[in-house]
Amino acid sequence: QVTLKESGPALVKPTQTLTLTCTFSGFSLSTSAMRVNWIRQPPGKALEWLARIDWDDDKFYSTSLRTRLTVSKDTSKNQVVLTMTNMDPVDTATYYCARTSPPGRYFDYWGQGALVTVSS
Amino acid sequence: DIQMTQSPSTLSASVGDRVTITCRASQSISTWLAWYQQKPGKAPKLLIYDASTLESGVPSRFSGSGSGTEFTLTISSLQPDDFATYYCQQFNSYKYTFGQGTKLEIK
């Protein structure tokens, strides 16, 4: 059974760095062609893909946010970490992690999401 | 990056109706398109991938079609559980983009 769960602060201040952790089970990121993504959704708005990390440690980022994002993995802990620098109130959103299985085009399993509010 | 445009933004329909949602890509994406259903406070759920392949466990009243730049999601006979927001999503050049969503409301 595949599960993913996001964890991290519910509230961050403007200019701070956000660190979110995705802890997953039911698959391994050391398995060929497995990938984990981060996606966010501001309240009442559409979904926005942020980043992806692959089994071979390849990383891909949203064009508009790439300078602020870093994604990493700890395969032994079944965790993927997203950091986003210089947080702003417009970054207030529910942040999801989601798996893509081969060939990596779609998100077949999602976490429940973590709401992050950016406010002073 | 490829832009995805869904229409309509909101759709009012009744139980038993047949409804269609359209998604247009700003450039050709072959059939690399998925549809998701999202209910309030929940994560999206994958319904259809590769434009027309039904994800396991998804009812057969859902169907998808299209290729290139124009795609449709059809629900053949709306059930009460289908009232939700639907998103299309494409993959191209290691980037993913979603449409802005279509909210399906009870008439």
Residue of B nearest to A62 (CA): B95
Residues of A in contact with B95 (CB under 8 A): 49, 60, 62-63
**Which of helix, strand or coil describes residue A77?**
helix
**Chain Cα centroid distance, residue B17:** 17
Can you spell out the DSSP letters for B24-70? EESS--TT-EEEEEE-TTS--EEEEETTTEEPTT--TTEEEEEETTE
A3 touches chain B (CB under 8 A): no
The beta-carbon neighbor of B43 closest among A62, A106, A111 is: A111
Average pLDDT of chain A is: 96
pLDDT single digits (tens) A35-82: 999 999 999 999 999 999 999 999 999 999 999 999 999 999 999 999
Per-residue confidence (pLDDT) for residue A103, from 0 to 100: 84
Per-residue confidence (pLDDT) for residue B1, from 0 to 100: 87
Average pLDDT of chain B is: 96
Confidence of residue A113 (pLDDT cuts 50, 70, 90): very high
Contact B91, A104 (CB under 8 A): yes
CA distances from B53 to A30, B6, B59, B65 (A): 27, 19, 12, 9
The beta-carbon neighbor of A108 closest among B46, B50, B96 is: B46
Confidence of residue A26 (pLDDT cuts 50, 70, 90): very high
